[in-house]
Amino acid sequence: MRVVRSAAALTIAALGLGAGVARGMPAAAADDCTAGDWAGVVAAFQDATATETTVILCADITGTASLRLDPGEALVLDLNGHDLSVFGNDQAAVRVPAGAALTIRDTNRSPGTLAARSLSRGAGIGGDEHGATGTITIAGGVVTAAGGGAGIGSGVGGVGGTVTIAGGDVTAVGGGTSAGIGGSQGKDAGTVAIAGGVVTATGGTYGAGIGGGSGSTGGVVTITGGEVTATGTREGAGIGGGAAGSGGVVTISGGTVVARAVPDVATTVPPGIGGGIGGTPAVVAIGAPGAGVGSAVAEVTVSGGIDFDDTLQVHPNAILAIPADQGLTVPAGHTLRSAGSIHNAGTIENLGTIDNAGAITMPDATTALGGVVTGHAYRLDYPGGPSQFAYAPTVAAAGFALPAAPLGAWVDDEDRRLEEATLLSDRYGVATAGSSPVAIALTRTVASLSMSPQAGAAGDEVVIVGEGLSGATSVRFGAADRVTGTASDGGTRLRVTVPIPAPGEAGTTVPVTVTEAGVSATVAGGFSYASPPVDDASPPVPDAGEPPVLVTGRLPSARVGHDYATVLEVTGSPRPRVELADGSTLPEGLALEPDGTLAGRPTTAGAYDFTVTATNAVGTGEREYTIAVAASTTGESGGSGDSGGPGATGGPDGPGGPLPAAGGPARALPALAVLLIAAGVGLVACRRRDVRHG
């Protein structure tokens, strides 16, 4: 590689000046840069030879004329973190004719910019008007190119060359009848290959975003990586051909691509990918043939559909997205052959054949694809309808769920259970041209229910096991009152608290019935209630349990910003659940747990009245409480342990925190102290009598 150094650049390098140094730590040292002004850049282009020459910018530079390579010359332009602006008044702003090669890169950690604009009919970067284009490679930097011809590519009436983008941030805008990146009016667009970077390409009035200009071929467009947005205007495709131009060959095997067209209001919408309006279709492939697990994924979103020639290939590593307000048409005699994923939020009009070895999601599970669909195409028929259509190997991959099957599951005509993860192709085969789609008749079966344990007493918890229990509305033990349960594990388990037996059913086995959505099923074996205790003096009386009673009376007071905790004592059998009564509120910052624990850190002073309820299978008890929350004193920081030693709960009743409730352990301490003092006094008196009589 030969490095060209101008006299001006040498002077700047020797003095250590230049904006690149000021930007801080460019990749090229000051004495390595080769162009510090416009004259230095022009000289580097003029001195380029067939042996690749590198020019490294030393400063931000604005030019007033074109930069031009001649056929047979090769140049590497290193922006080196600087900005270069070029304006072409007569032809291309940066001319790269056939036989010449230009590589644009940036070795600085803070990328510089190249802005190239042709004010005539040449390209921003590429060919002059009617001239053939050479080889253009962009590997880094921020590049913006606009032309009367293509933004990057050929000038008006010129033949396209080879454009490769491997990195950087590239924006290209075509003028008039030219593409954003690619060709111009009436000539072959050449080759465009994108492997990385962020690329935004917008066609001129009749040009494609990426591809051909008006009346030209779309050339060969290959995208293997990067983030690409391509927009055609008026009658040009997003990727492919311009107005009345052929779509060429478009292959997208990696990266994220958005292809769209922006038509005039009065015109037909051009395709996102394909030939322009009035042109011929493109040969289109999305994804890579034979791509497997671990392959790069091609994600393509298309507005305006895809105008393809004979067959549209969507390979296994591809995701083709159709937006909600857009559509894709498979013309008569054409085939969409997909082994990847098609996410259809809009419409697919199938007038030809869809050979589906992948997955197609539809906006609605009850919407069927028209025409002939082979491969993964299934119709799920339910009693009373409506049917669902799955165009995927599983229901889950088709993007919807099976209808609810209360207390059971869906089974086919061979009593095989159908789940959302069932591999449909293995069980039912695939659709052929004469059987599209495969029909699967389903019926709902009520699954057998079991319960564990199947014997016990009121208040015990049992688990009912079965299918479709998520919406179970009631469970009935014999003639006892109905109870509800809590479903878990995907509706296969239902936890229930055994109710008090109906009169005469204690000590007997009763049927257990579960009801959901009007469907009832009986637990096999029922439930055996424990026998009541036998009293010889009186007939057996069922154990009805004990109703809840809230024992705790006065609540300890609290202080703003201090941790607070107390427990409301409650009796009853089965163990009651403690809750705040409807309409009652606690001081902000406190919470009441089901076991009676009242804890938290209050935030607002005041006196608060509230009602607490305790409930079990026997009944409900309630009690009104008042809690006083004192304001935080000056200088207190709040929190636990700040005035009562480690672990103390802060409050206004003393350094040890709030006093416990009446009858609690702390109120027994004074009485215990009195007893200990009295015992000590008695012992001293005895010792004194012993001394006097000794």
HSE of 188 in the Cβ direction (CA atoms, 13 Å)? 11
Residue 130 CA to residue 122 CA, distance in Å, equals 8
Segment 88-112 mean pLDDT: 94
Residue 178 CA to residue 475 CA, distance in Å, equals 73
**Mind listing the pLDDT tens digit for each residue in 607-651?**
999 999 999 988 999 999 999 999 987 554 444 433 333 333 444
Residue type, 368: A
CATH 2.60.40.10 location in the chain: 448-529, 547-669
Whether the CB-CB separation of 298 and 252 falls below 8 Å is answered with yes
**Mind listing the pLDDT tens digit for each residue in 483-501?**
888 888 878 899 999 999 9
Q: Which CATH class is domain 547-669?
A: mainly beta
The confidence band for 536, taking pLDDT boundaries of 50, 70 and 90, is low
Average pLDDT of the residues of the chain: 84
DSSP string, 374-404: EES-EEEE-TT---EEEBSSSTTTTT--PPP
Residue 216 CA to residue 184 CA, distance in Å, equals 7
The secondary structure of residue 632, as a DSSP letter, is: P
Torsion angles phi and psi, residue 354, rounded to 5: -115, 115
Can you say whether residue 86 is alpha, beta or left, with left for phi > 0 and alpha for psi between -120 and 50 degrees?
Answer: beta
User: Residue 602: pLDDT above 90?
Assistant: yes
The secondary structure of residue 691, as a DSSP letter, is: H
**Mind listing the pLDDT tens digit for each residue in 58-74?**
999 999 889 999 999 99
Residue with tokens 């927009």: 231
Higher pLDDT, 163 or 17: 163
Domain topology for 448-529: Immunoglobulin-like (2.60.40)
Torsion angles phi and psi, residue 468, rounded to 5: 60, 40
Beta-strand relationship, 527-529 and 597-600: unpaired
**Mind listing the pLDDT tens digit for each residue in 248-289?**
999 999 999 999 988 766 557 889 999 998 889 999 999 887
> What percentage of the chain exceeds 70 in pLDDT?
83
The confidence band for 543, taking pLDDT boundaries of 50, 70 and 90, is low
Q: Which is nearest to 323 in space by CA: 260, 255, 404, 233? A: 260
Highest mean pLDDT among 266-270, 530-534, 658-662: 530-534
User: Residue 535: pLDDT above 60?
Assistant: no
Tokens of 10: 């040498």
The secondary structure of residue 666, as a DSSP letter, is: G
Residue 510 CA to residue 479 CA, distance in Å, equals 8
Whether the CB-CB separation of 344 and 361 falls below 8 Å is answered with yes
